[in-house]
Structure 1
Amino acid sequence: MSTQLTGTILRGREFEPVEGRVVIDDGHITAVEETTTDSTDIILPAFVNAHTHIGDSIAKEAGGGLSLDELVAPPDGLKHRLLRAASDEELTHAMARSLRFMQRSGTGAFLEFREGGTAGVQALERALADDDLDLTAVVFGRESIEAMEISDGFGASGARDSDFEAERKATRNADKPFAIHAGERDPDDIDPAFDLDPELLVHMVHAQPDHFERLEETETPVAVCPRSNLVTGVGLPPIRQLLDHTTVALGTDNVMLNSPSMFREMEFACKFADVTARETLRMATVAGADAVGLNCGLIAEDRNARLLVLDGDSDNLVGARDPVRAVVRRAGVSDVKRVVLT
């Protein structure tokens, strides 16, 4: 059965605003047609949150004033102690609540670093089984090779915590991606992270000129999480320089520290960094999809129909002259009219 969405469509990689309709058949976009319409809706790709720690949902706003290591460093940072203390039921319920918020606020897919080994991966699977959820999850298991084997890849904490050679070898053998935190606290763990030949680097706050060159040579994508970096006091990522050398995707990081709202992340990133609204929207959508091979993040023919419809006549958005800037710098959860995840 065919479905049609009408309004101002942010089409393709440049998010060109066109008046018309998106035609959806069997879960895919089959046509993007320019035509006159009475609709004031704004139609864009659903967000791809490129870095999350959903398990932190058990302890929102815990640990105010603690350092990065005190908050999240394995094995005994505050988040890890709280995760160990939580029951499976508590953890699953808390994650499901955050996932429902993410979906309601326009996220269609997310890349999750899943603590807790195999049990942690299984808890997320139970949370995603909620009947109200249609999110696409790319799960990077942590803490054991077994966790990687039942998930989509391995997510390493950072090269200062271990050499991760065994995990890197195991992901290659399994033909799965290896992702790793790097350059969050300082630059010292960036080169060791590069040496593991990862498919995705996370943070890169303290990237130096030689690291930018290495990013360009290896074409390694980076997920940045500027609000999290601000809260933990490690600095802000050099988004402009990163974009000049590689693909950059946007993530919200720890739910303990920040709401998993891509609207908030986009607004913050666009207003503090030397990046355009289009670059920011690209980071929040197709960049994350490209990093892990998802067929979403764009409004184009043959893409999966994972779309977000905003009310362009809301009190917040009515009168916007530039729909891309309005989406990135002004829109919020209250403007969401419909999330299409087929």
Structure 2
Amino acid sequence: MILEGTILTGRDFDAVEGRVVVEDGRIEAVEEASVDSDDIVLPAFVNAHTHIGDSIAKEAGEGLSLEELVAPPDGLKHRLLRQADRADLVAAMARSLSFMESSGTGAFVEFREGGVDGVEAIRDALSDSPLESVLLGRETTDAMELADGFGASGANDSEFGAERRATRRAGKLFGIHAGEVDSSDINPALDLDPDFLVHMVHAESLHLQRVADSEIPVVVCPRSNIVTDVGQPPVEELAERTTVALGTDNVMLNSPSMFREMEFTAKLYDLTAREVLRMATVNGAEIAGLDRGVVEPERPASLLVLDGDSDNLTGARNAVRAAVRRAGTADVKRVVHPE
């Protein structure tokens, strides 16, 4: 397979005119050359925080608070999940996964409700999907053992010490929500020494220093935080101190489009387009332990091809800014997945 156009290479997404040579699911070479193509080739996105089970309840619960919407065990989302027919739940998740793939996502990190049954349901939904998944079970250690790790709610709800010890023994990921509603659960979450934190909307100077000292990465979900009216995460301050990745959070509240998340983040914060694109690709991959997120030789071929001659992108002078701030699902020409 040969992909031609403007190639956004390496961690800095240097724009190179040429071609990407793919063989057996890996990038064999990135060659500079004069080519007759307006395509833009970049890494496929890594959505670092999702709740795909919410696909049965898109745009439900208008006017409810965050706790009323999603807090376990009796938030609206959890009640709807318990009431859902399993076949309907799997079908709805499969539709969201299909949309994610068509909008340039190559991998995602899922906090999966429902214990063992929840993990098994999303695996059924993934049966025909090319997406790479990192599934973090919730509610029980049995779910963690079946999945790729454990995805905890805020540390105010539970100490989660047993779950953290279990993930360490199993060599699996432990991620935890922190600082979404207020700052009270941030220090308890940090005390668990998690592999990553999610949200950190209400991080204060002490918490930022602890994050820097411990080098714990953070996944931010700015659109979700605005929708739930909890505030805006201090993304610039976090990015100065640790690795920051982007996630789209609950499908109930937001389309799982990394294009929308990137554009929103780039226009809300004082960040370069390159920084935002890293948050949507290689940073999420590194948090999840995935070998993807950059275009360079010997890497898996997880690639997104944008039509640079689309009505939306034609005339763009900066390929990185165009991909981050302007591009959308309609501009996707092809998504390439490793074999």
**Aligned twin of 1:150:** 146
Q: Which residue of 1 aligns with 2:336?
A: 340
Q: Distance in 2 between matches of 1:294 and 1:268?
A: 25
Question: Identical aligned pairs, as a percentage?
Answer: 68
Encode CA deviations 1:81-136: one digit per residue, 9 max, x unaligned. 00000011011000000000000000000000000000000000000002xx2000
Task: Give the deviation of 1:302 after TM superposition.
Answer: 1.4
> 1:93-132 to 2 correspondence within 5 Å?
93-130=91-128
Matched, 1:92 2:90: yes
CA distance in 1, matches of 2:55, 2:76: 13
For the residues of structure 1 that align with 2:232 and 2:42, how far apart are their CA atoms?
A: 27
Residue 56 of structure 2 corresponds to which residue in structure 1?
Answer: 58
Unaligned runs of 5+ in 1: none
Measure how far apart 1:156 and its partner are: 0.2
- Supply the distance in 2 between the matched residues of 1:212 and 1:303 (Cα, whole angstroms): 33
Q: Match of 1:160, as an amino acid?
A: N
Letter paired with 2:337: L
**Secondary structure at 1:188's aligned position in 2?**
coil
- Partner of 2:336, secondary structure, is strand
Q: CA deviation at 1:179?
A: 0.4
Secondary structure of the 1:207 match is: coil
What amino acid is aligned across from residue 161 of structure 1 in structure 2? D
Secondary structure in structure 1 of the residue aligned to 2:290:
coil
Give 1:45's aligned residue: 43
- Once the two structures are superposed, what CA deviation does each residue of 1:285-311 show, in whole Å capped at 9, x if it has no partner? 000001121010100111110100000
Structure 2 CA distance for aligned equivalents of residues 149 and 242 of structure 1: 31
Q: Deviations over 1:160-218 (max 9, x none)?
A: 11000110111111111110000000111000000001001000001111111111111
> What letter corresponds to residue 93 of structure 1 in structure 2?
A
Shift of 1:153: 0.3
The alignment partner of 1:187 has SS state of coil
Structural mapping, 1:291-306, within 5 Å = 291-306=287-302
Match of 2:334, SS state, is: strand
1:1-342 equivalent positions in 2, closer than 5 A: 3-130=1-128, 133-342=129-338
Q: Distance in 2 between matches of 1:65 and 1:23?
A: 50
Deviation of the 1:37 alpha carbon: 0.2
Q: 1:14 offset after TM fit, Å?
A: 0.4
Distance in 2 between residues matched to 1:27 and 1:217, nearest whole Å: 38
What is the TM-score of this pair, normalised by structure 2?
0.99
| One-letter identity of the residue aligned with 1:51 | H
The whole-number CA distance in structure 1 between the counterparts of 2:204 and 2:271 is 19
CA shift at 1:262, angstroms? 0.3
User: Whole-Å Cα distance in 1 between the matches of residues 253 and 285 of structure 2?
Assistant: 24
Q: Measure how far apart 1:255 and its partner are.
A: 0.1
Question: Aligned partners of 1:292, 1:24: CA distance in 2, in Å?
Answer: 24
Q: Secondary structure at the match of 1:233?
A: coil
Question: Could you report, residue by residue, the CA deviation over 1:306-339 in whole angstroms, capped at 9, with x for unpaired residues?
Answer: 1000000000000000111111000000000001
TM-score (norm 1): 0.98
Provide the rounded CA distance (Å) in 1 between the counterparts of 2:254 and 2:25: 32
Structure 2 runs not aligned, ≥5 long: none
Q: Tell me the secondary structure at the aligned position of residue 161 of structure 1.
A: coil
Aligned-partner residue type, residue 45 of structure 1: P
Q: How many residues align?
A: 338
Moved over 3 A (4+): none
- The one-letter code sitting in structure 2 at the alignment partner of 1:125 is R
CA distance in structure 1 between the aligned counterparts of 2:9 and 2:18, rounded to whole angstroms: 10
The CA deviation string for residues 237-264 of structure 1, in whole angstroms up to 9 with x for no partner, is: 1110000000000000000000000000
Alpha-carbon distance, 1:25 to partner? 1.1
